[in-house]
């Protein structure tokens, strides 16, 4: 499997700088035209040049969205924009229209074509068709990703969250979820975080069985650690099955320490939960 890429949105220069500072492997952003996120600040041609230069200096890849469905008058202007992206050396264009893909291959031949979630790909035949047309990556429909996360829950946990429970958490303003995709755009793992005041609670960390031992869980966890430090949280807390030694070792390697147990917390089979906490205040007690 290809290395998991942590791809972060960057609606403006401030958000791009934050994404880069907290360890993003790549960012996706839009110019003033041809991007679906018209509500974001986005980037003028000059700002985009600056953004690409910053990312290039730090080894961060840049994906630019061209995922609108352009009308005839817009397609007449698109080649000039694509040639500019080629000149800047962006890594990929995120698109959803087959005509835009053809124009990208013609006017920006060194830029990869990634198919946007706006294309609503939900089966392998569609993914293969886009690949045959020259796409190097497809992003599956959002609805499918939620189904995949629910399936991942079922595979990874004896007491999995239902699809409805996951959906409710996604709509929870206090919670955030990260999803790691493999090289084919399928869900490789996910993690959830809930924040209340200055404390964070890691809800779940799950990795697809064939993607384990490849650092996926560690990368997901590190994003939350960087977020917690950047937002000056005081603690991060989680629960883990007492017999899940690999997970306990992973959390321990990131500074989490066992602070208690919840008796018979888990069902199927019944088992204690180890409560682990990471103190971010810099005032953790020692044995001295």
Give the catalytic positions in this structure.
239, 251
- CB of 195 closer than 8 Å to CB of 13: no
- Exposed e or buried b for every residue in 58-87, given b needs 16+ CB within 10 A? eebbbbbbbbbebeeeeeeebeebbebbbe
Whole-number Å distance between alpha carbons of 62 and 59: 10
- Contact at 8 Å (CB) between 107 and 128? no
Nearest-angstrom CA–CA distance, 273 and 288: 28
Beta-carbon contacts of 160 under 8 Å, excluding residues fewer than 6 positions away, are 150, 153, 154
First to last CA, the chain: 45
SS3 state at 166 = helix
Q: How far apart are CA 150 and CA 165, in angstroms?
A: 9
Centre a 10 Å sphere on the Cβ of residue 159 and count the other Cβ atoms it contains: 10
**What six digits make up the tokens of 265?**
């917390």
């Amino acid at each position: 499997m290809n290395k998991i890429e942590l791809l972060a949105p960057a609606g403006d220069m401030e958000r791009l700088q934050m994404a880069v500072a907290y360890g993003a492997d790549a960012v996706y952003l839009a110019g003033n035209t041809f991007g679906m996120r018209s509500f974001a600040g986005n980037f003028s041609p000059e700002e985009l040049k600056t953004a690409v230069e910053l990312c290039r200096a730090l080894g961060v890849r840049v994906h630019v969205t061209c995922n609108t469905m352009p009308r005839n008058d817009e397609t007449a202007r698109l080649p000039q924009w694509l040639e500019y992206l080629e000149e800047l050396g962006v890594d990929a264009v995120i698109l959803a229209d087959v005509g835009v893909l053809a124009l990208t291959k013609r006017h920006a031949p060194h830029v990869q074509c990634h198919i946007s979630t706006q294309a609503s790909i939900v089966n392998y035949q569609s993914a293969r068709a886009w690949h045959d047309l020259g796409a190097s990556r497809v992003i599956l429909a959002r609805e499918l990703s939620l189904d995949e996360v629910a399936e991942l829950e079922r595979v990874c946990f004896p007491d999995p969250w239902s699809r409805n429970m996951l959906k409710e958490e996604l709509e929870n303003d206090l919670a955030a979820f990260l999803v790691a995709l493999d090289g084919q755009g399928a869900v490789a793992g996910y993690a959830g975080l809930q924040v209340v005041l200055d404390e964070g609670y890691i809800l779940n960390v799950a990795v697809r069985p064939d993607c384990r031992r490849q650092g996926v869980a560690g990368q997901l966890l590190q994003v939350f650690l960087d977020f917690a430090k950047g937002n000056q949280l005081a603690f991060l807390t989680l629960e883990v099955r007492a017999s899940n030694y690999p997970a306990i070792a992973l959390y321990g390697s990131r500074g989490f320490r066992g602070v208690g147990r919840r008796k018979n917390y888990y069902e199927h089979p019944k088992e204690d939960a180890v409560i682990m906490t990471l103190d971010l205040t810099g005032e953790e007690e020692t044995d001295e």
